Amino acid sequence: MIVRKRSINGTPVEKGRMNEKKLQNITIKNYEINSNGKKKYFFDYYGCIYPFNMPISLYKYPPIFGYCSLSDFQEIGAKRLALLQFLDTCTISGEEEKDTYNNLKGKMDKDALTNNYNDNKNKQIRQKIFEYKFGIQSMKNYSKEEMENIIMTDLLSHYILRIAFAKDKEKQQWFLKQELKLFIFRLNELKNINVLNSHNLGESERGLIHLLNRENLNYEFLSKPMISSFGVKDEAWEKYTSFIPNRDTIEKVFKIPFFPDAYFLVKDHKVCVDKAIAYVPDIYLDVILVTQFKITIKESFKYLDQNEKLLLNVQNDSRISSFLTALPKAYVAKDYRQNYEHTQETRLMPQNLYNVYKQSFPPCMRRIFVNFLKEKHLKHWARQQLWLFLKGAGMTLEENIHSNRSIWLQADKFDKEHRYTIRYMYGKEGKKTDFSPYNCSSIINNFPIPSSGDTHGCPFKNFDEAHLKSLLFFFGLTDGQIKNIMPFKMNNEYQMACVKFFMETHPGSSADGVGNHPNSYYIESRKYYKSKATNGTSEAGAQKASAS
């Protein structure tokens, strides 16, 4: 429940006034919140940035008091969308809760080239955050008002997009995925920061614990026991931490409900469970925070869906309705439907199919296609995965049908059993829906586990190490290149493994956009070979000119 009576220090405020933060054309007001009707907590928006140079929040408390000019409303909404669009081209390790703890182990196994790649990506993301005014490059060079302005820009822009993307389920998923990337990036930055304890300035606490407390996630915890001079060990501490790697770095163990908060940690036997309570060490708190972040946004979309009139009242406001309607249409997350505009170099056609697939098909599609050429047949999920990919790569309906028909063992049987399916994918049959190709997340998380004879899915996920090495060797990679890829497989970072595969087979490429969508992989590869051919021609011309 929201209480509008007190200011930040709990003292009464004058009638008609709240604790306002006036920031040029943006004003926002703090408010108190009740927790289970027992104790009042005050949510201070200013705390979203201290002691960090970027605002970080679970966005549980919308900034519902205050005002914002229409021009600022539109500007910050557009900037947030631009930032999310940029993140859509990036693969950030640990995008899923189940992957987050994997980042805590095995990092030393990654080679210097991989670390440089990650460092470069992080640097680019950081620069974009600063460019769009969602972070502070140096706390020393900013006034308090400027910092507050960044906080309000971050909060308001998030909720603007949340409302704008609420109508469409598919766009909701895109919004959540990109916001999750931004949140995880900020979490990774916060991990290495210690914060002064507000109750005892002589002590400090880890940044993630500070965030946990600030978001009113008041889990009970056990503190690390003092070392006994008699060598007596604390039984509870030993029970809950003895099997955890790097246990010496653990300072607190939190008592957290195993579902949904600690589900992924429990599922993978990373923590101890006792009477439905998971005992989570502080080094795994990022998993808990990511889970809470997803729950918050999903519950918000669910609430808006159940209260459609409330959403319509906002979206039909004449001052902002056209802008909110335009935002989801403007987002450039590529779904590679028929309206995607390919260039002559990127469009896949029957004429170039057999020359291109070895160079530019991602491993998942290349494996399916090679098997298709061999067996002259595809099972259901492989058909779904490959045929939509060919559509996204630029093949017209007739080209897609013709290419598959020419490979199929019995052409007349193909026409009878599968021609309709491809027409259905292009929106020419059934509900006339223009289907988009599957992205990496869908292939990895939603496709069924392959059984004998199946070729669908992500090979980095579905293959064991021995079979994956054989496949990569078949694709022409050297032992050294395969060695560079395998740590990602072992750490369950399948999309990063695909990025590394691209970098090994496309030397000198930045791999922008790779690892999120098979069609992004294909397009970046075609651009790479086009650039390579152009540069080769230029160099040959220059050599010829110098010789003459």
Which residues are documented as binding site for [4Fe-4S] cluster? 364, 440, 458, 498
SS3 call for 320: coil
As annotated, the binding site includes: 364, 440, 458, 498
Return the SS3 of 256. strand
The answer to whether the beta carbons of residues 297 and 282 sit under 8 Å apart is no
Q: What span, in angstroms and rounded, lies between the C-alpha atoms of 301 and 295? A: 10
Using DSSP, how many helices (H) and how many strands (E) does the chain show? 23, 12
Distance CA 5, CA 12 (A): 7
The answer for residues whose C-beta is within 8 angstroms of residue 15's C-beta and 6 or more apart is none
CA angle 422, 423, 424 (to 5 degrees): 90
Which ranges in 395-517 belong to alpha helices (H)? 397-407, 411-417, 419-425, 440-445, 459-462, 465-474, 479-490, 494-505
The helix or strand, by DSSP H or E, that contains position 196, with its residue range, turns out to be strand 194-196
Backbone torsions φ then ψ of 96, nearest 5 degrees: -105, 150
CA–CA dist 268, 78 (Å, integer): 40
Which pair of structure tokens corresponds to residue 460? 């980095």
Helix (H) or strand (E) holding 69, with range, is none
**Other C-beta atoms lying within 10 Å of the C-beta of residue 108:** 7
Question: For residues 213 and 47, what is the distance between their CA atoms, to the nearest angstrom?
Answer: 11
Contacts of 379 (CB under 8 A, 6+ apart): 453, 454, 455, 456
Task: Answer yes or no: are the C-beta atoms of 277 and 245 closer than 8 Å.
Answer: no
Q: 356 near 348, Cβ under 8 Å? A: yes
Side chain identity at residue 96, one-letter code = E
Distance CA 237, CA 482 (A): 41
| 3-state secondary structure at position 257 | strand
* Cα angle 267-265-298, degrees, rounded to a multiple of 5: 90
Which helix (H) or strand (E) covers residue 55, if one does?
none
